[in-house]
């Protein structure tokens, strides 16, 4: 059971871009002190919003989407029990009710969660949304032919590991109860205080059993949100959405739904998207992107132009790029060597290689620097702005490498400015000053991913990154540092192979907490404690910068997604 | 080569060839072409720059790999600080965006890799291609069939995939630039072989070759004395075009992680990294692109000059070594050579 879940997680990690694509959009103050380009900044209803994307809205079925917080485009069509708070910054990292009246009522040890649906909820055909439909939607996601979602339901629900979905197993999943049309109860096999975060994912979308067409459902899923699918060409390459007249703002406090029509066009090159948004001609004036950031060179151009610079949204997504060590391989078994490298790293060159201070923030903690993750600032091996070569040399001497050291850094050859050669050469240059000769081993992207996630092939010293499925310490720390999640045959994310009883016990203890603020504090403390072992060298947290068209108003960017939220955007 | 041209060659200047052959004659003909001389000088200069890279960068006081974070504007994506991409007394051609590495040093060190790999690969391609092509044209029908099909297969194989496969199985301690050159040479000689075979078949039918054969010359002697001079023109011209192709193949392989490893610079790598910077830091793209342009142009002009010097018909127009130069000067203006 553990293995499939981790495979799925790896898919998630590898496609964070996609998650985001599905997830959110970019940037700007909600109170609109920073204006759309012309005069009246009050958002009005009407008009067509164009979305210019590189990745298509593939498998547009709530059972199959792997999203953070329900996604960006999907969230226009699929309502869920809970959802993310559509606010700027840290407030946007909170979970709020959506179809349900609250974020869930747990029993004492957080193993039973009860939700009540709001009154008057309707699908696009005017029929009522019931608790049984939510249960059916979740059950569908267990069907092999509708795979793709996150592994948590399978891991957490009693009986989830063996359930094969409603097509094969007509009896349904007993751990989800629907005592009446508005009540749904979940029975978990272990305490999970973060269940409300999970309930934001599209698997918690109601699906009317009578309208379920199996694998064809993705062509026309029945909408519970403010928009319905009018057309879907080439598996999500072009998706046109129009108003769902049965959706009522009185039951939905989160989605604003200003435009009448939303035209999602995908398959575009990222440079084309940014050029079109910059030019802002015709329909592109009312356009945004939900998956394309500005690159370093594009940022250099945009910042030199006041008009363009005013149309850039900035956001933070919980994500960390870091150096990972495999402590079973020499010389990285020696904590002093790991510490020496931590001291020698030059974060200013690394940040520049990642696109500069506007696109990356230096990291000294493994947890992202946001409140919802429980970020507790620490810098256990202070390297300063540009590395502490003297301290690194001293540690190497103590470790018995007074004549220097030659090591190999494994990285990917993708051009993502994350695990790519640019970052690797910046580290190589910095470690040279500390007497460490770094040889580079660049691997093709899929090869790289397979190599670092298999304990048998895992190199000693490599670049890695991690992003969470929701903005909390749990999904950020547990897969990487929980010793019980070490997988022997592939899909291992605990690359430091840490199996520390006290760490495992603390993870279990925090999962029991239903007070998310209290849990966040303890995740932060745990992060610092794990940091002492120097199993990773945090490098930087990315910052997202995205252009939007001239007519775009009401730009909201939360810390949950880091990108502009389409449900808030107005074009009039 | 058209029928008319072949006829001219056979009838008009054929007899002059034996008298005018020889290296000395070739150099005299080349010497009369100013463009080719300039091109040769440029190529020589490029090679010299590449060879003298350590000396030149020592004079500049820089090296190709050291980062200078203070020379780029971190808040603006890492664009170089200062005019023309950070040109200064310390950095003659400015610095690289995001890293601040010295562009002059990277350009001259990059020339070593790019020119070295491309020229070596071209030499390997020409060697294999000419041997296979001539052997196919002169050998028995059976030999021709085997070699021609082999050539077809080599031409049809996707170069990049073959190169990737070959590069992936070689141990990483083998010198990388040499390996890349050999791999490109070994998988991309098909077109040279085809051109050589076709040209050899044409030449084989000409009277002077038939005459040599009737005189009882061995096949090897015919190939060396009668065919190779006639092959030089198309082969050298094509080889001059292969060099820039090989430079870009090296770049692509390096980009895919099986070519030259970073931080070793090559022009191809620089171009790949620079393409997105064409608006924000144009010199970053223009330097390797300009270097590549000059190299390709010089090699092409030089190749054309060499071809002209080797082509008996063109040589007669140049009125060099035919013994009729004085006579021609008196009667007609010197005809300019049009490439045929």
Strands A405-412 and A436-443: parallel
Instruction: Tell me what pLDDT residue B6 has.
Output: 39
Stronger pLDDT, A264 or B267, i.e. the higher one: A264
Residue of A nearest to B279 (CA): A301
Which stretches does DSSP call E strand in chain B?
Answer: 72-73, 79-80
The alpha-carbon gap from A300 to the nearest alpha carbon of chain B, in Å, equals 5
What lies within 8 Å, CB to CB, of B38 at 6+ separation is B301
Q: How many A-B residue pairs are in contact by the CB < 8 A criterion?
A: 105
pLDDT at B271 over 80: yes
- Neighbouring CB atoms inside 10 A of B149's CB total 11
Helix (H, G, I), strand (E, B) or coil at A463: strand
Question: Mean per-residue pLDDT for A70-96?
Answer: 95
- Chain A contact set for B73 (CB, 8 A): 300, 356
Nearest by CB: B74 against A301, A352, A426: A352
| Cβ-Cβ contacts under 8 Å, A298 against chain B | 77, 276, 280
CA distance A218 to chain B (A): 36
Q: Do B280 and A359 touch (CB under 8 A)?
A: no
Q: Is the pLDDT of residue B323 over 60?
A: no
> Which domains occur in chain A, in start order?
2-266+548-568 (3.40.190.10), 319-544 (3.10.105.10)
The answer to whether residue B205 sits within a structural domain is yes
Q: Is the peptide bond before A422 cis (omega within 30 degrees of 0)?
A: no
Q: Write out the two tokens for A433.
A: 């000053």
What pLDDT is attached to residue A444? 82
Q: What is the mean pLDDT of residues A26-45?
A: 54
User: Is residue B87 one of the residues assigned to a domain?
Assistant: no
List CB contacts (< 8 A) between B261 and chain A. 440, 442
The set of residues, in sequence order, having a beta carbon less than 8 Å from that of A10 and lying 6+ positions away, is: A449, A453, A491, A493
Nearest CB to B262: which of A299, A440, A443? A440
Q: Using pLDDT thresholds of 50, 70 and 90, give the confidence band for residue B316.
A: low
Q: How far is B254 from chain A (nearest CA, A)?
A: 10
The mean pLDDT value of chain A amounts to 90
Q: Which residue has the higher pLDDT, B37 or B336?
A: B37
CA–CA dist B267, B108 (Å, integer): 9
Cβ–Cβ gap A355/B77 under 8 Å: yes
Total count of domains within chain B: 1
Span of A36-50, A395-409, B203-217, B259-273 with lowest mean pLDDT: A36-50
Q: What is the pLDDT of residue A381?
A: 96
pLDDT of residue A40: 64
pLDDT at A458 over 50: yes
Closest-CA distance, B57 to chain A, in angstroms, reads 18
Kindly determine whether residue B66 and residue A298, on different chains, have CB atoms separated by under 8 Å: no
pLDDT tens per residue across span B82-140 = 888 888 888 999 999 999 999 999 999 999 998 999 999 999 999 999 999 999 998 88
Inter-chain touch A358–B76, beta carbons under 8 Å: yes
Q: Once rounded to an integer, what is the mean pLDDT over residues A165-186?
A: 94
pLDDT at B53: 92
Instruction: Write out chain A residues lying below 8 Å of B280, CB-based.
Output: 297-298, 300-301, 304
Q: Is residue B93 part of a domain?
A: no
The minimal CB distance from A349 to the residues B67, B79, B261 is found for B67
Q: Is B45 contained in some domain?
A: yes
A300 and B97 within 8 Å at the Cβ level: the answer is yes
Contact B99 A424 (CB under 8 A): no
**Residue A320 · residue A541 · CB < 8 Å:** yes
Residue B80 lies in a domain: no
CA distance B231 to chain A (A): 42
Of A298, A358, A440, the CB nearest to B261: A440
| pLDDT attached to residue B165 | 81
Query: Residue A1 pLDDT more than 50?
Result: no
- Residue B189 is predicted with a pLDDT of 92
Beta carbons of A297 and B73 less than 8 Å apart: no
Q: Which residue has the higher pLDDT, A436 or B138?
A: A436
Using 50, 70 and 90 to split pLDDT, how confident is the model at A190? very high
Average pLDDT over residues B63-83: 89
pLDDT for residue B257: 64
**A299 CA to chain B: closest CA distance, Å?**
6
Note whether A352 contacts B98, CB cutoff 8 Å: yes
CB contact under 8 A, A413 and B257: yes
Domain that holds residue B266: 3-66+101-331
Q: How confident is the model at residue B22 (pLDDT cuts 50, 70, 90)?
A: low
Q: What is the pLDDT of residue A404?
A: 87
Structure confidence at residue B319 as a pLDDT band (50, 70, 90): low
Q: What is the pLDDT of residue B313?
A: 67
Are residues A300 and B67, on separate chains, in Cβ contact within 8 Å? no
Please report the pLDDT score of residue A18 as a whole number: 38
Which residues contact residue A7 at a Cβ distance below 8 angstroms, ignoring those fewer than 6 apart? A151, A490, A491
Q: How is residue B41 written in tokens? A: 């000088």
Residues with Cβ < 8 Å from A210, sequence gap 6 or more?
none
The pLDDT score that the predictor gives to residue A482 is 93
Instruction: Evaluate if residue A98 carries a pLDDT over 90.
Output: yes
CA distance B178 to chain A (A): 18
Chain B residue nearest residue A300, CA to CA: B76
| Average of per-residue pLDDT across A176-198 | 95
In chain A, pLDDT over 90 holds for what percent of residues?
Answer: 82
* Residues of B within an 8 Å Cβ radius of A: 65-67, 69, 72-79, 97-100, 172, 255-257, 261-263, 276-281
Characterise A554 by phi-psi region: left (phi > 0), alpha (psi -120 to 50), beta (else): left
Domain harbouring B253, CATH code: 1.10.3720.10
At residue A24, does pLDDT exceed 70?
no
- Under the banding of pLDDT at 50, 70 and 90, the label for residue B21 is low
Chain A residues with beta carbon closer than 8 angstroms to that of B74: 348, 351-352, 356-358
- Answer whether B77 sits within 8 Å of A386, measured CB to CB: no
Does residue B71 lie in a domain region?
Answer: no
pLDDT bucket at B320, cuts 50 / 70 / 90? low
Residue B83 lies in a domain: no
Cα–Cα distances in angstroms (integers) from residue B83 to residues A461, B91, B93, in the given order? 39, 12, 11
- Among A352, A408, A440, the strongest candidate for a mutation testing the B interface, having the largest count of B CBs within 10 A, is A352
- How do residues A528-544 score in pLDDT, each as one tens digit? 999 999 999 999 999 99
Structure tokens at A10: 């790896």
Report yes or no on B228 lying in a domain. yes
Give the separation between CA B238 and CA B224, rounded to whole angstroms: 20
User: Which chain B positions have a beta carbon within 8 Å of A293's beta carbon?
Assistant: none
Q: Sorting pLDDT into bands at 50, 70 and 90, what band is B160?
A: confident
Say if residue B324's pLDDT is above 90.
Answer: no
- CA dist A192 and A189 (Å) reads 9
């Amino acid at each position: 059971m553990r293995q499939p879940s981790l495979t799925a997680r790896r898919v998630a990690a590898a496609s964070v871009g996609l998650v985001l694509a599905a997830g959110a959009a970019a940037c700007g103050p909600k109170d609109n002190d920073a204006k759309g380009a012309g005069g009246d900044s009050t958002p009005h209803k009407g008009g067509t919003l164009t979305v210019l994307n590189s990745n298509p809205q593939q498998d547009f079925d709530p059972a199959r989407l792997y999203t953070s917080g329900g996604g960006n485009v999907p969230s226009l069509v699929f309502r869920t029990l809970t959802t993310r708070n559509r606010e700027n910054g840290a407030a946007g990292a909170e979970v709020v009710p959506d179809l349900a009246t609250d974020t869930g009522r747990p029993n004492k040890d957080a193993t039973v969660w009860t939700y009540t649906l709001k009154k008057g909820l309707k699908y696009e055909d005017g029929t009522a949304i019931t608790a049984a439909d939510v249960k059916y939607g979740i059950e569908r996601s267990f069907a092999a032919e509708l795979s793709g979602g996150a592994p948590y339901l399978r891991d957490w629900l009693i009986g989830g590991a063996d359930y094969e979905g409603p097509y094969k197993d007509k009896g349904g999943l007993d751990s989800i109860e629907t005592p009446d049309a508005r009540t749904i109860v979940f029975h978990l096999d272990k305490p999970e205080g973060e269940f409300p975060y999970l309930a934001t994912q599209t698997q918690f979308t109601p699906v009317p059993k009578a309208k379920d067409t199996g694998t064809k459902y993705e062509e026309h899923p029945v909408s519970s949100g403010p928009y319905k699918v009018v057309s879907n060409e080439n598996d999500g390459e072009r998706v046109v959405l129009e108003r769902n007249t049965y959706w009522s703002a009185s039951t939905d406090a989160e989605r604003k739904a200003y435009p009448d029509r939303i035209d999602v066009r995908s398959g575009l090159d990222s440079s084309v998207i940014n050029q079109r948004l910059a030019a802002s001609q015709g329909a592109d004036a009312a356009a945004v992107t939900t998956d394309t950031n500005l690159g370093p060179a594009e940022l250099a151009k945009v910042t030199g132009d006041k008009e363009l610079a005013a149309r850039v949204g900035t956001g933070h997504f919980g994500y960390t790029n870091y150096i990972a060590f495999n402590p079973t391989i020499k010389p990285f078994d020696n904590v002093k060597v790991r510490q020496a490298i931590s001291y020698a790293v030059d974060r200013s060159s690394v940040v520049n290689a990642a696109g500069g201070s506007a696109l990356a923030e230096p990291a000294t903690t493994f947890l992202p620097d946001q409140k919802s993750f429980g970020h507790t600032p620490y810098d256990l091996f202070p390297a300063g702005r540009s590395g502490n070569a003297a301290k690194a040399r001293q540690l190497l001497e103590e470790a018995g490498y007074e004549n220097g050291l030659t090591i190999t850094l494994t990285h990917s050859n993708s051009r993502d400015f994350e695990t790519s050669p640019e970052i690797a050469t910046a580290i190589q240059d910095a470690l040279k000053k500390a007497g460490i000769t770094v040889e580079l081993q660049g691997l093709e992207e899929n090869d790289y991913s397979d190599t670092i996630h298999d304990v048998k092939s895992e190199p000693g010293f490599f670049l890695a990154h991690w992003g969470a499925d929701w903005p909390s310490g749990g999904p950020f720390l547990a897969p990487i540092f929980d010793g019980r999640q070490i997988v022997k045959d592939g899909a291992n994310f605990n690359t430091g192979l840490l199996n520390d009883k006290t760490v495992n016990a603390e993870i279990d203890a925090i999962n029991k907490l239903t007070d998310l603020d209290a849990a966040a504090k303890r995740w932060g403390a745990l992060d610092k404690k794990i940091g002492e072992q120097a199993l990773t060298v945090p490098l930087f947290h990315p910052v997202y910068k995205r252009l939007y068209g001239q007519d775009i108003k009401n730009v909201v960017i939360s810390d949950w997604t880091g990108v502009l939220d389409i449900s808030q955007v107005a074009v009039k | 080569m058209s029928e008319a041209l072949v006829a001219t060659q056979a009838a008009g200047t054929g007899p002059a060839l034996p008298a005018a052959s020889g290296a000395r004659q070739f150099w005299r003909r080349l010497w009369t072409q100013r463009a080719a001389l300039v091109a040769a000088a440029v190529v020589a200069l490029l090679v010299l720059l590449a060879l003298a890279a350590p000396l030149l960068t020592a004079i500049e006081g820089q090296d190709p790999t050291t980062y200078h974070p203070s020379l780029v504007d971190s808040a603006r994506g890492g664009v170089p600080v200062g005019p023309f991409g950070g040109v200064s007394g310390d950095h003659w051609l400015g610095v690289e965006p995001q890293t601040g590495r010295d562009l002059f040093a990277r350009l001259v060190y990059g020339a070593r890799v790019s020119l070295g790999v491309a020229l070596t690969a071209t030499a390997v391609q020409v060697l294999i291609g000419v041997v296979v092509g001539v052997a196919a044209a002169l050998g028995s029908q059976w030999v021709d069939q085997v070699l021609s099909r082999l050539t077809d297969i080599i031409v049809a194989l996707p170069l990049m995939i073959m190169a990737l496969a070959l590069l992936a199985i070689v141990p990483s301690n083998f010198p990388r630039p040499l390996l890349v050159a050999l791999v490109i040479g070994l998988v991309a000689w098909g077109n040279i072989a085809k051109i050589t075979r076709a040209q050899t078949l044409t030449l084989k039918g000409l009277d002077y070759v038939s005459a040599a054969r009737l005189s009882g010359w061995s096949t090897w002697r015919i190939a060396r004395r009668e065919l190779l001079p006639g092959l030089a023109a198309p082969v050298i011209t094509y080889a001059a075009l292969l060099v820039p192709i090989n430079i870009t193949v090296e770049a692509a392989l390096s980009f895919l992680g099986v070519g030259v490893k970073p931080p070793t610079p090559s022009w191809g790598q620089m171009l790949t990294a620079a393409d997105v910077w064409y608006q924000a830091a144009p010199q970053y793209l223009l330097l390797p692109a300009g270097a590549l342009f000059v190299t390709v142009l010089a090699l092409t002009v030089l190749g054309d000059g060499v071809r002209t010097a080797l082509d008996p018909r063109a040589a007669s127009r140049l009125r060099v070594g035919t013994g009729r130069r004085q006579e021609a000067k008196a009667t007609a203006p010197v005809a300019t050579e049009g490439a045929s």
